Every structure is written in structure tokens, then in C-alpha cells.
């Protein structure tokens, strides 16, 4: 199967998956009239997708991998200077790894591009230009591109590693409270404004491409379909292939669906769809046939599924969703300003949002929802450099590190008291062993806690490296304190009981509590 054939299948699948059953049947019927084999392939994808029970979160290739052209074999341990830690995603654009840049000692998301991008000079130049443009956009709500690498003939993009949950995941639990939706939308609008100022149009803004970080802040991801506008007075080469429809139909502006030239206002249409979903929990235009939706958009502005409250927010959304680009907002900054003016009238904003000063597009929201408080597998790219809040599974994991670290360190005290009663040199050897192992274990616990507060993206990798040493030291401490308790029991029962309790708590923590809190926070 050629890449062009696969892209056509993927395009029809993406359109059909957003429709109700009647809409899907209509799309398949029209496709079958033109190309029965193509319709059969799409129907196979849809049937497989339905059997998996997934919705939108999984790309089409995961439910019918036999239709995807194989990706190049890529080593899983070392790619140039990058030490691969784990594979975190696959899709039509390639494979994404969590990797350590051994030159700078930082954790990155490393995206390996398919073979076809390495051979096609137009696509290579397009990817290079997009990578350079994304790297030029400095904003806390946009993932930073560190490098575009060519290693052994393959192209790779190294970016920030995001740990958090997509807005699509949040929406699976229903609409957000209005205050949180507005605060989220402000961060997204600020990110879009920063990109637009650099001439970068995202063209694929949707809930899957926006991640709420662990600190509650927002990261806009995946500029893979971005359009780079030439600076005023210059003429840039067009790298979009003729007949190619780029984007996700449910979020594409009418002019984008018609294949016309788009500008930043196309992103504002997608932003309006996204904001409506955040506040209403459903798509503004409901299900149905995308082709019929396009026809309605051409003829005029289709009615929304329902009005949203407050009315001022409804007016902002409707202006973003105008069919005529000239009737939309003229910039993302204007949208953000209107939303900032509205947020003071909403009562359910998080306290930290009320406390923020106006103006500060680089201010980061510090009140995550419960759904975003845990560490998810990386959604894409993120620094994770902000400190997590005190709620959720991560907070309990952090509390456990401090508690057990303090417990193990405290074993030194009864160990010192008991060493004189165990006789020389045995008492001194036991005490020194407890002292050394307790110091190492407490230091590692403290280091992990610190990493979780200031650079959470590196936490999982750091823990994998140091946990064998940590477990060994704490097991030795537990064993030696239990042995010391046995040796002094009968003559110094109070100290023996103290030692036994410390040993028991250390074992329980290591065997039961540590795995449970780690699974909840890091899985």
C-alpha cells in the first residue's frame, strides 16, 4: 500500500469516526461509489476500532496495523547521543521515545520520522522549517523543540517531554467547570498568539493536542501540520501538496475544509470548537455527516448544539465559530483579552487564578484539577519543570518519600543506643552498617522528592536508576534493626520493641506501600 493510499484511508477514517452511525454510513456509501476497495478498507478500520472499545484516543493504525506501511527498524537502546528509556507512542507520523540526551543530561521526547520523510526533499525541508519555527516560539504553554537531528540517515525531532493528561481525557469525564474552562482557554489563546506572532499557524488544534501538565498549566503540542507564513514582503515556497487536506475535520475552519489558503483565524475557529467542548462537553455542531456540515458552513453559520453559560462566553465562542473569517476575532490576543475580562465574573475559578495579575501571558496556572494531578504517561512533549500541587497521587507519593526517608534515618538512634549492649565489635559493625545504609537511603529518597518538585519529567527515569540501590539499603537497614532487636530483647525490651517496629514498618513500606504509591503516581 502506498503512503498516499494510506493517508486517504486515514483521512476518511478520521472523518467517519466523529460521526454518528448514520453519518458514517453516508460517508462509506459515497466512498464506495468512487472506490469500493477504499470503502472496504475504511470499514475494516471502523469495525476493528469498535471492537477495541476505544474512541478518538487511539490512532487508526493501532486497530488495523496491517494497513500501515512498516516504519524503519530503530534501535531501542541508543540513537546517536540519545539513550532510549521507553517507547511512549506510535502514529502515522512515526514513533516517539522518552530518551536521555547524554550530552546535556536531560530527558526529551525523541520523535523518529518515517522513511518516506527521509527520502522526500520537499517533506524534509518542510519538517526542517516547521522544527525551526516551533523552536523560535518561546512560550510556557508551547512545547519547546530542542533539535532537529539527522542520525544514520533518519530524521529525529528532540523536544520537551510532557507528562500530563490531554484535554480529551478530561472531557471523557464531562465538561469542565466554567471557571476552569476559561482559565484553560486563556492559556491556549496565549500560546496561539505567541505562535501566530512568529508566523506559525497550528492547523490541527484539538483536545488531543492540548495537555494539562502536572502543575495545572497547559501545553499545546504537535505542530506537525503547522503552516509557516512567510514574513511580510517576502514569498515563501509552498510545501503543501496539491489535493492534500490537512487537519481534523471536526476542528477545521470552513476555508480549511474547502482547501483554501488559511491564516491565523483558522486556528481561532478550532479554538472556538475546543472552548465549546470544554464548557458544554459536546461538539458544537453535534455528530452527523461532515460533508453536510461543510455545505452548511458554506451557506452560513450552522446552529450550535445548545447555548452555553454565561451569555458573554457564549458570544465569544460564537464569534470564533463564524463561517466568514472576517467576522471572527482578528487575533488570539483579542480572544484572550476578552476571556480575561470575563473570568472575573465567574465564581468557580480556582483561587490561584483569581490571584493572578492581569497581563502576564507567561504566568502559569497553579491549581490543577484532580484528574490532572497524577503523572500520566507522556502525551507528547513537556518540560515538567514546575512543581506539582499538593493533591492527587503524586502528592501521596511525595509524602511517602519524606515519611519513609525520615523513618529509615531514625533507625540510627536506636541502633546507636543498642550497639553498646550487643558487645564489641559486633555492636559497632551493626551500627555503622545501619548508619551508612540509612544515610544512603534517606539521601536517595530526598533526591527523588526534590526531582518530583522541580523536574518531574525526569522522575521516572531517575527512579529506575536509583531504586535498586534504595531497596538494597532499606532492606539492609530493616534486617539489621530486626537483628539488633533480637540481640537486646530480654534485657532491654523497650529498645528491642523500638527496633522491631522500625524494621517492620520499613519492610511494609518497601514491599507494599512503595509499589502502590509508585504505580498510582508514575504509571
Place of cell 475546543: 274
Place of cell 551493626: 430
Pairwise CA distance, residues 517 & 519, whole Å: 6
Strand ranges for 246-289 from DSSP E:
none
Q: Check: CB of residue 325 under 8 Å from CB of residue 267.
A: no
CB within 8 Å of 260: residues ≥ 6 apart: none
Pairwise CA distance, residues 218 & 185, whole Å: 9
Query: Residue 110 in 3-state DSSP?
Result: strand
How many angstroms from the chain centroid is the CA of residue 160? Answer: 10
Pairing of strands 378-380, 162-166: antiparallel
Per the DSSP assignment, residues forming a β-bridge with 86 are 98
86 phi, psi to nearest 5 deg: -170, 155
C-alpha cell at 55: 474512541
Pairwise CA distance, residues 267 & 331, whole Å: 10
CB atoms within 10 A of CB 506: 24
Element (H, E) at 95: strand 94-101
C-alpha cell at 478: 530493616
Nearest CA to 447 out of 428, 466, 419 is that of 466
Pairwise CA distance, residues 342 & 310, whole Å: 9
C-alpha cell at 301: 453559520
C-alpha cell at 305: 448544539
Q: Check: CB of residue 226 under 8 Å from CB of residue 133.
A: yes
Pairwise CA distance, residues 263 & 121, whole Å: 25
Pairwise CA distance, residues 160 & 107, whole Å: 8
Pairwise CA distance, residues 268 & 288, whole Å: 23
Q: Of 41, 190, 193, 204, which residue is the catalytic one?
A: 204
Edge-first strand order for the sheet with 378-380 is 218-220, 210-213, 162-166, 378-380
Pairwise CA distance, residues 14 & 27, whole Å: 11
> Is 204 a catalytic site residue?
yes
Q: Check: CB of residue 107 under 8 Å from CB of residue 461.
A: yes
Q: Check: CB of residue 400 under 8 Å from CB of residue 520.
A: no
Edge-first strand order for the sheet with 154-159 is 78-79, 82-91, 94-101, 106-112, 154-159, 145-151
C-alpha cell at 303: 446552529
Residues identified as active-site:
204
Amino acid at each position: 500500500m502506498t503512503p498516499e493510499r494510506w493517508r486517504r484511508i486515514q483521512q476518511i477514517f478520521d472523518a467517519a469516526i466523529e460521526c454518528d452511525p448514520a453519518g458514517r454510513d453516508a460517508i462509506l456509501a459515497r466512498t464506495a461509489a468512487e472506490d469500493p476497495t477504499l470503502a472496504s478498507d475504511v470499514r475494516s478500520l471502523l469495525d476493528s476500532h469498535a471492537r477495541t472499545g476505544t474512541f478518538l484516543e487511539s490512532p487508526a493504525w493501532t486497530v488495523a496495523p496491517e494497513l500501515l506501511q512498516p516504519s524503519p527498524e530503530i534501535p531501542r537502546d541508543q540513537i546517536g547521543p540519545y539513550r532510549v528509556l521507553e517507547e511512549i507512542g506510535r502514529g502515522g507520523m512515526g514513533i516517539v521515545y522518552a530518551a536521555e540526551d547524554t550530552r546535556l543530561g536531560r530527558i526529551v521526547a525523541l520523535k523518529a520520522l518515517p522513511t518516506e520523510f527521509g527520502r522526500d526533499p520537499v517533506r524534509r525541508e518542510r519538517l526542517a522549517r516547521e522544527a525551526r519555527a516551533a523552536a523560535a516560539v518561546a512560550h510556557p504553554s508551547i512545547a519547546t523543540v530542542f533539535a532537529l537531528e539527522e542520525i544514520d540517515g533518519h530524521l529525529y525531532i528532540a523536544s520537551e517531554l510532557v507528562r500530563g493528561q490531554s484535554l480529551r481525557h478530561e472531557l471523557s469525564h464531562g465538561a469542565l467547570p466554567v471557571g476552569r474552562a476559561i482559565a484553560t482557554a486563556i492559556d491556549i489563546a496565549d500560546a496561539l498568539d505567541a505562535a501566530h506572532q512568529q508566523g506559525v499557524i497550528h492547523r490541527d488544534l484539538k483536545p488531543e493536542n492540548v495537555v494539562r501538565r502536572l502543575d495545572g498549566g497547559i501545553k499545546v503540542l504537535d505542530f506537525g501540520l503547522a503552516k509557516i507564513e512567510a514574513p511580510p514582503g517576502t514569498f515563501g515556497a509552498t510545501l503543501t501538496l496539491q489535493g492534500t487536506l490537512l487537519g481534523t475535520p471536526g476542528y477545521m475552519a470552513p476555508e480549511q475544509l474547502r482547501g483554501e489558503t488559511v491564516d491565523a483565524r483558522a486556528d481561532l475557529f478550532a479554538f472556538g470548537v475546543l472552548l465549546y467542548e470544554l464548557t458544554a462537553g459536546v461538539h458544537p455542531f453535534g455528530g452527523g455527516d461532515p460533508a453536510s456540515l461543510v455545505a452548511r458552513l458554506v451557506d452560513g453559520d450552522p446552529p450550535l448544539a445548545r447555548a452555553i453559560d454565561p451569555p458573554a462566553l457564549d458570544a465569544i465562542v460564537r464569534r470564533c465559530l463564524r463561517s466568514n473569517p472576517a467576522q471572527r476575532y482578528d487575533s488570539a490576543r483579542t480572544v484572550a483579552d476578552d476571556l480575561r475580562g470575563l473570568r472575573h465574573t465567574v465564581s468557580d475559578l480556582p483561587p490561584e487564578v483569581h490571584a493572578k495579575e492581569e497581563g502576564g501571558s507567561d504566568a502559569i496556572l497553579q491549581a490543577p484539577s484532580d484528574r490532572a494531578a497524577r503523572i500520566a504517561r507522556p502525551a507528547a512533549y513537556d518540560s515538567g519543570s514546575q512543581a506539582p500541587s499538593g493533591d492527587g497521587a503524586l502528592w501521596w507519593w511525595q509524602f511517602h518519600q519524606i515519611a519513609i526517608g525520615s523513618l529509615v534515618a531514625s533507625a540510627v538512634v536506636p541502633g546507636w543506643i543498642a550497639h553498646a549492649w550487643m558487645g564489641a565489635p559486633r555492636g559497632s559493625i551493626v551500627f555503622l552498617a545501619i548508619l551508612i545504609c540509612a544515610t544512603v537511603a534517606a539521601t536517595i529518597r530526598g533526591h527523588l522528592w526534590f526531582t518530583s518538585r522541580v523536574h518531574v519529567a525526569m522522575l521516572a527515569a531517575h527512579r529506575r536508576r536509583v531504586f535498586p540501590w534504595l531497596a538494597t539499603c532499606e532492606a539492609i537497614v530493616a534486617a539489621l534493626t530486626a537483628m539488633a532487636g533480637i540481640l537486646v530483647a530480654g534485657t532491654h525490651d523497650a529498645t528491642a520493641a523500638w527496633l522491631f517496629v522500625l524494621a517492620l514498618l520499613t519492610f511494609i513500606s518497601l514491599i507494599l506501600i512503595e509499589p502502590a504509591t509508585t504505580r498510582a503516581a508514575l504509571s
